[in-house]
Amino acid sequence: MMGDRPSPPRAMSSAPTSSPSVDKVDGFSRKSVRKAKQKRSQSSSQFRSQGKPIELTPLPLLKDVPVPEQPELFLKKLQQCCTVFDFMDTLSDLKMKEYKRSTLNELVDYVTISRGYLTEQAYPEVVKMVSHNIFRTLPPSDSNEFDPEEDEPTLEASWPHLQLVYEFFIRFLESQEFQPSIAKKYIDQKFVLQLLELFDSEDPRERDYLKTVLHRIYGKFLGLRAFIRKQINNIFLRFVYETEHFNGVAELLEILGSIINGFALPLKAEHKQFLVKVLIPLHTVRSLSLFHAQLAYCIVQFLEKDPTLTEPVIRGLLKFWPKTCSQKEVMFLGELEEILDVIEPTQFVKIQEPLFKQISRCVSSPHFQVAERALYYWNNEYIMSLIEENSSVILPIMFASLYRISKEHWNPAIVALVYNVLKAFMEMNSTLFDELTATYKSDRQREKKKEKEREELWKKLEDLELKRGLRSDGIIPT
């Protein structure tokens, strides 16, 4: 029968990591220097018909048929929609493609408004139709030169049909008549696994639909929840430690956000493990900017559920603090501020020392955006109140770098911000500030003195050398 095809598992791209065609500066590839890429036409692993046109017998509209006959007609239409068309060939089967599109449209409406149409026989047919349409091996991406941040994604050519299939499936899942107890025979682990693989699609519209689909499935199929969580773990771990390639991280994180939000207290150990072993390491990936907002949301949700996780989270972030990527550093600072916005004072005290040591380094960064972002913490009222309570610990940590940058930083705006911060500290704890100023000054004077002594010592040695040279042979050394 036409349209009956297997869906082989997604082939993992095993492309080599080195790309000699891209220029490298300081070991990091230059984004701006790339060869003009030819846009490759989207390939597809779908089976292509051998040139024989596909013929489907047009069926009557559902609304034109008496209600008792509708369920059977519904099944027939589902079966017809199992036929998959080749959109690579833009000219073939145009009439039939249009027929399928309008049929799918009709099915979407039917599922949304009808009552009593969902028989037990419908479930396997629905799942089969959806599977036939959406499960496919995704075409490989343009090797490793595809930059998700800059390049245009390759969109799915069969979207006119695909979109309607997703739309239909979502409404089916959300239908009042939908019964998970029946559906779970057909929407099983294998189905979910294939669904998850599709999250690697380059088409953002598809990923958006998949996000909704998986969200609904997670909500309704309690028996699949643990499996879904485990598979997402695997995807993320593979992403972080093996491939650094997966297009659907942001969408999966968004789903996780809604799951984390619903965690029961006390938090299960499994979830805490997930936070520490998966979510924190996700921060190390180069393409962090693509999903950072969703990741930060998940982290903060965790901390709002269980504040005792604050210390491992912050220590984890500090461990993975970016050392060469300033853009990432700014992201980390943003996330850290969001965490501090909800931190409990007792937790704050536990991590304040390593935290402010890092902030002290950020504030001294020659990259002005990093310095600026870090200094702006002092404009946050809640953070200020925490700093004020613990100024005797924090001020000594920050003092030296603040004072130094006030004299040395190249950026005048940064210098002005440092003034604000120093003034705030001065008012918080005047006596400590005076002490630190005095110590700093005397340290500087001691250094200057040492410097001078060293110079004089060298000069003396030079003079000695000269004298020696003159005495021995009368020739002045050059």
Is 400 within 8 Å of 440 (Cβ atoms)? Answer: yes
Please enumerate in sequence order all residues whose Cβ is within 8 A of that of 219, keeping only pairs 6 or more positions apart, or say none: none
One residue of 25, 91, 113, 264 binding another protein per CB under 8 A = 264
Tell the smallest beta-carbon distance from residue 139 to another protein (Å).
28
Tell the smallest beta-carbon distance from residue 379 to another protein (Å).
5
One residue of 430, 446, 456, 470 binding another protein per CB under 8 A = 430
Q: Is 259 in the site for another protein (CB under 8 A)?
A: yes
Q: Is 262 in the site for another protein (CB under 8 A)?
A: yes
How far does CA 11 lie from the centroid of its chain? 23
User: Which CB atom, from 42 or from 380, has the smaller least distance to another protein?
Assistant: 380
Residue 28 backbone dihedrals phi, psi, to 5 degrees: -110, 135
One residue of 34, 205, 215, 361 binding another protein per CB under 8 A = 215
Q: Is 261 in the site for another protein (CB under 8 A)?
A: yes
User: Which CB atom, from 73 or from 339, has the smaller least distance to another protein?
Assistant: 339
Q: Is 263 in the site for another protein (CB under 8 A)?
A: yes
Q: Which of residues 378-407 bind another protein (CB under 8 A)?
A: 379, 388, 406-407
User: Which CB atom, from 154 or from 347, has the smaller least distance to another protein?
Assistant: 347
Q: Is 369 in the site for another protein (CB under 8 A)?
A: yes
Tell the smallest beta-carbon distance from residue 360 to another protein (Å).
18
Measured between alpha carbons, how far is 329 from 351 in angstroms, rounded to an integer? 19
User: Which CB atom, from 25 or from 264, has the smaller least distance to another protein?
Assistant: 264
Tell the smallest beta-carbon distance from residue 43 to another protein (Å).
32
- Pick the piece of the chain touching another protein (CB under 8 A) from 40-48, 170-178, 219-227, 449-457: 219-227
From residue 226 to residue 245, the character string flagging contacts with another protein as x (rule: CB under 8 A) and all else as - is: xx-xx--x------------
Q: Is 413 in the site for another protein (CB under 8 A)?
A: yes
Q: Is 257 in the site for another protein (CB under 8 A)?
A: yes
Measured between alpha carbons, how far is 125 from 95 in angstroms, rounded to an integer? 24
- Pick the piece of the chain touching another protein (CB under 8 A) from 68-76, 104-112, 150-158, 254-262: 254-262
One residue of 105, 112, 143, 420 binding another protein per CB under 8 A = 420
Measured between alpha carbons, how far is 4 from 7 in angstroms, rounded to an integer? 10
Q: Find the radius of gyration of the CA atoms of the chain.
A: 32
Tell the smallest beta-carbon distance from residue 135 to another protein (Å).
21
Tell the smallest beta-carbon distance from residue 420 to another protein (Å).
5
Q: Is 352 in the site for another protein (CB under 8 A)?
A: no
From residue 159 to residue 188, the character string flagging contacts with another protein as x (rule: CB under 8 A) and all else as - is: ------------------------------
Q: Which of residues 102-141 bind another protein (CB under 8 A)?
A: none
Report which of 408, 406, 409 is spatially closest to residue 418, judged by C-alpha positions: 406
Neighbours of 343 (CB within 10 A): 23
Q: Which of residues 286-345 bind another protein (CB under 8 A)?
A: 293, 296-297, 300, 330, 334, 338
Q: Is 27 in the site for another protein (CB under 8 A)?
A: no
Strand 28-29 to 24-25 pairing: antiparallel
User: Which CB atom, from 76 or from 444, has the smaller least distance to another protein?
Assistant: 444
- Pick the piece of the chain touching another protein (CB under 8 A) from 30-38, 87-95, 253-261, 318-326: 253-261
User: Which CB atom, from 237 or from 351, has the smaller least distance to another protein?
Assistant: 237
Tell the smallest beta-carbon distance from residue 33 to another protein (Å).
23
Q: Is 21 in the site for another protein (CB under 8 A)?
A: no
